[in-house]
Amino acid sequence: MDIAGQNNRVSFNDRDDGGSAAIAVGGVPFYNTNISAMVMSTNGYLAPSAARDGSDFTNDCPLPAKPDADPFSASTGFARLAAYHDDVITGLAWYLRQDPCERQSDVEGGNGACHIFQWNNAEVLDPGTYGPGLLLSFPLPLFEFQAILYEGSGEIVYQYGPNTPTSNTTPTVGIQDNVANSGLTWGCSTDIFRGTGAEQPPVRPEPNEAVCFFHPDAKQREFDPSGLTLETPALDYDNIPRGGNRTSRVAFRVPENAECGSDIGISLHGIVADENFSAGPGTVFSARVGGENGVCNANVKASADKAHIDFQPGMYYNPARDGHGADIHLGGGNAKKIQLDLPANVMRFDLSLIHI
């Protein structure tokens, strides 16, 4: 959703290392407080304090970290919402409160409203030569990105446009609290925060990608139950040892009024453990009522090939282990894998969860 040009332009005191005036927001929970005002920085982050100036051009990796280039943070706090924190020049910026929000929240709670901050015509400066006009010798495209804050639910979403750079940049994407004791880093210039113990290639957002952060007490929004009925909507795998696997049978029922030839599908929404969860949405099963030919007889059969889904990089929060480490990030090579098999003559399939 593009909010540009709706008489809601944000002005900066400087398009390079500048900040906006305080923008009033309300009802947005963030760690142990509610945000009441937000300063938008040209450098791709939001600071929930009216005293900030948005001048911090040196992103920190990983979060939490006390900013080293913000003269006001020592007295006003260190809270940050880093949508794309880097040494960035922003051409235009926009803010809009939507009620209801065009992008519906992924979790329950709140009043349906959201606050949208949008950076337009953003360009990254050469990390070795700071100052306006000293752009990278290998020009990067101008790009757009957004930060969306939901009233009541605490969900935070970062969205990136189709021209988002995929190389030669090292932005920090994440959040941290006001005292820089707690934070979540989705991506930055190294992978040290993943617990690898050594620097790895940068983790940066891809074009048309979204990054979501959820409050640890958030409940996933209920989906429309008018479609397929899952007889086993949740599976209990207990403890799976490393290298082990468990298989369960998932049964579902097609509505009696389903139209012959219509497509049906089932999505996996995530995995929940005692002290954490991981959102890994994706379609894990699809078929057509009456088979591929859409020919319906008295005994309807569905068939589908074996499907695989790999979890995408995501974040979860473990309240028993605040801070950093491998325990707060899921993604890459350590992702859980889902394998589905659908017998040709029955409306059910096997779901295997493998701990690798």
Tens digits of residue pLDDT in 16-57: 888 899 999 988 999 988 888 999 999 999 998 766 678 888
- Please tell me which residue, 220 or 320, carries the higher pLDDT value: 220
Query: What pLDDT, on the 0 to 100 scale, is given for residue 320?
Result: 59
171-192: per-residue pLDDT in tens?
999 999 988 899 999 988 754 4
Domain boundaries, the chain: 23-213, 229-354
Mean pLDDT score, 112-130: 80
Query: What pLDDT, on the 0 to 100 scale, is given for residue 7?
Result: 75
The strands making up 88-98's β-sheet, listed across from edge to edge, are 88-98, 114-124, 143-150, 156-160, 210-213
Mean pLDDT score, 308-321: 54
If you write DSSP's letter for every residue of 101-149 in order, what string do you get?
-SS--SBS-S-S-EEEEEEEEEEEBPTTS-STT-B-SSPPPPEEEEEEE
Query: What pLDDT, on the 0 to 100 scale, is given for residue 117?
Result: 97
Query: What pLDDT, on the 0 to 100 scale, is given for residue 135?
Result: 45
- Please tell me which residue, 280 or 112, carries the higher pLDDT value: 112
Task: Say what percent of the chain tops pLDDT 70.
Answer: 65
Mean pLDDT score, 85-100: 92
Q: What angle do CA 190, 281, 332 make, to 5 degrees?
A: 25
Token code pair at residue 67: 């900013």
pLDDT band with cut points at 50, 70 and 90 for residue 9 = very high
pLDDT mean across residues, the chain: 74
pLDDT band with cut points at 50, 70 and 90 for residue 222 = low
Question: Which of 145-149, 165-169, 220-224, 302-306 is least confident?
Answer: 302-306
Query: What pLDDT, on the 0 to 100 scale, is given for residue 190?
Result: 57
Query: What pLDDT, on the 0 to 100 scale, is given for residue 293?
Result: 58
pLDDT band with cut points at 50, 70 and 90 for residue 344 = very low
Mean pLDDT score, 289-309: 53
Largest CA distance in the chain: 74
Sign of CA dihedral 327, 331, 333, 334: positive
Q: How many residues does the chain have?
A: 356
Cβ-based neighbours of 272, under 8 Å, separated by 6 or more: none
Mean pLDDT score, 328-346: 38
Cβ-based neighbours of 17, under 8 Å, separated by 6 or more: 42, 43, 54, 55, 56, 57, 87
The residues facing 175 across adjacent strands are 81, 184
State the DSSP H helix or E strand holding residue 80, giving kind and residue range, or none if neither: strand 80-85
pTM over 0.75: no
3-state secondary structure of 177: coil
Question: Which of 142-146, 237-241, 273-277 is least confident?
Answer: 273-277
Query: What pLDDT, on the 0 to 100 scale, is given for residue 348?
Result: 46
Question: Which of 140-144, 156-160, 239-243 is least confident?
Answer: 239-243
Mean pLDDT score, 309-313: 52
Query: What pLDDT, on the 0 to 100 scale, is given for residue 96?
Result: 95
- Please tell me which residue, 146 or 283, carries the higher pLDDT value: 146
